[in-house]
Amino acid sequence: MLAYLIIGYDVVLRALKNIFKGEVFDENFLMTIATVGAFAIGEHPEAVAVMLFYQIGEFFQDYAVSRSKKSIADLMDIRPDYANLKINDEVLVFSPEEVEIDDIIVIKPGERIPLDAVVTEGTSSVDTSALTGESLPRSVKAGDEILSGSININSVIEARVIRKYKESTVSRILDLVENAASKKSKSEKFITRFARYYTPAVVAMAAILAFAVPMVSGGSFSQWISRALIFLVISCPCALVISVPLSFFGGIGGASRRGILIKGSNYLESLAMTEIVVFDKTGTLTKGVFEVHGVKPSRNPGSANISGEELLEFAAYAENYSNHPISVSLKKAYGNTIDRKRIGTVEEIAGHGVKAMVDGKTVYAGNNRLMEIFEIGFDSEDIAGTVVHVAINGRYAGHIMISDELKDDSIATIEELKKSGIKKTVILTGDSKSAADSAANLLGADQVYSELLPGDKVDKIEELMKDLSTKGKLVFVGDGINDAPVLARSDIGIAMGGLGSDAAIEAADVVIMTDEPFKVIDAIKISKKTLGIAKQNIIFALAIKALVMILGAAGLANMWAAVFADVGVTFIAVINSMRALVYEDK
């Protein structure tokens, strides 16, 4: 008895405490009943041995779980410890939380960048692998933005802080990953519900085995009580309760290591059931860096009859107040300083273009629909690219052709999605039909819808969802800035290029920290691997327990087999769960 108390007092104590809390049917209760029962029928050595091996198994199990969690914590160990703040040519050490916007910080080689900032002095290389999963360092110079959590590699740099710590990239990533555990997958919810009903059920079955069976069969009570106690030890559900959530936790941690932030186990699980992947085009599959490659003034009767230089000038002035990539390309192509005194009122026509007063003239600059809205006739040439039409005082002036390159891995992304069994790939864009069709043909997408407003994209998403199977999911991939309604409406919204983008992190369920579309493939594969591991653990644990339960009830399994079916199975399942931490490209 003394040996039993020394070894198992904490288990018995936890069982009693939980009973008073109303949490009766847990593993501490089952082990206490099983071992105390063994004492009651005179199996003293067995009771001590079972508790001893249970405690040893718990030690190794806790060790495996803590190692797994530590591995995840190490992956996300990007929290800066201090910031070197420059004050009047003196550098002082402060907590990152104490640093304000516009303060100047000094980052030495080997130090972690404490806050999001813009380099003001010096050049260096920055390791962003903890944020993006990219192994190649990035060169930075004066004027470049650097992100908290990255590591400065080879030179001292000074930088001006642009966000407080709570709003910085590293803080948002840590909050996102830490809060991911609160959004449970269906598998985790199932295990929680299963354990709630399973444990009382096996206790009832053990009671029937111990008392009802010998009364009916006339067998020895001690023999059947012994079998019931073995049955109780086997029935502990800890293998499922621990390993399944740990699998998803590991999957989220492994994805984070590759620069893929998944907001919860529910989204990780849903990704494995993806059937349709819908992409925004500009900035997602293309580089979003537009260049003017043609200016064509109209020479039709009744046109404004201006030169190409004047056409580009009016377009640049009309688009001056916009930061849209197309507007930026027009201003860049114009190349001269814009005199804002020449610009009067400016009205943005959402999804179409702008109407602006320039030199007292009404200038319209935008797409086909803008011309149609104001009933202006225009040249409708089939051009593979984006077209900006310009009209002055209601008379058509001509059009400007703008191109946008595909990203290097866009074609490979669509190809790999098809190889992996995705039912359909779709492109939604506000670009002209000719530009959209040209891109879709190059990419090999199954469907493309062009000239869409944000609201139109939501309608198309709902239309595409009708093609899903009962369990199928639709994934939308966008830049997270202009696509918030579509990201929210999709089963899973994936925002790309999430570095420094508040809108991306808020709107999406998954945030890819780089601008590489191929990481969508990685996210889906990580999801499938994680779900596979969780299912393996469920099947393995239930199969072994069911087998040993049957053998125990039949008198063919002893306490040692029961301990293996409980602690051994849990340990194996936890080790299997740790595989979710690692994902290798294949």
Radius of gyration for the alpha carbons in the chain, expressed in angstroms and rounded:
32
The Cα 291–Cα 385 span in angstroms is 10
* Distances in whole angstroms, Cα of residue 582 to Cα of each of 32, 142, 251: 37, 37, 8
Say how many residues make up the chain.
Answer: 586
Q: Which long-range contacts (CB under 8 A, 24 or more apart) does 384-387 make?
A: 384/434, 384/435, 384/438, 385/293, 385/434, 385/435, 385/438, 386/290, 386/326, 386/431, 386/432, 386/435, 387/432, 387/434, 387/435
Burial class of residue 218 in the structure, from the number of CB atoms within 10 Å of its CB (0-12 exposed, 13-18 middle, 19+ buried): exposed
DSSP 195: H
Q: Return phi, psi of residue 136, to 5°.
A: -75, 130
The Cα 196–Cα 46 span in angstroms is 29
Question: Which of 103, 280, 404, 483 is the catalytic position?
Answer: 280
Q: Across-strand partners of 426?
A: 278, 447
For 69-126, the DSSP string reads HHHHHHHT------EEEEETTEEEEE-GGG--TT-EEEE-TTPBP-S-EEEEE--EEE
Positive or negative CA dihedral for 51, 53, 57, 59?
Answer: positive
Strand, helix or coil for residue 272: coil
The Cα 271–Cα 140 span in angstroms is 35
The Cα 424–Cα 450 span in angstroms is 17
Check if 280 is active-site: yes
> Residue 183: how many CA atoms within 13 Å on its side-chain side?
17
* Distances in whole angstroms, Cα of residue 194 to Cα of each of 191, 236, 420, 567, 583: 5, 12, 33, 19, 30
Positive or negative CA dihedral for 55, 60, 66, 68?
Answer: negative
- Which residues are known catalytic residues? 280
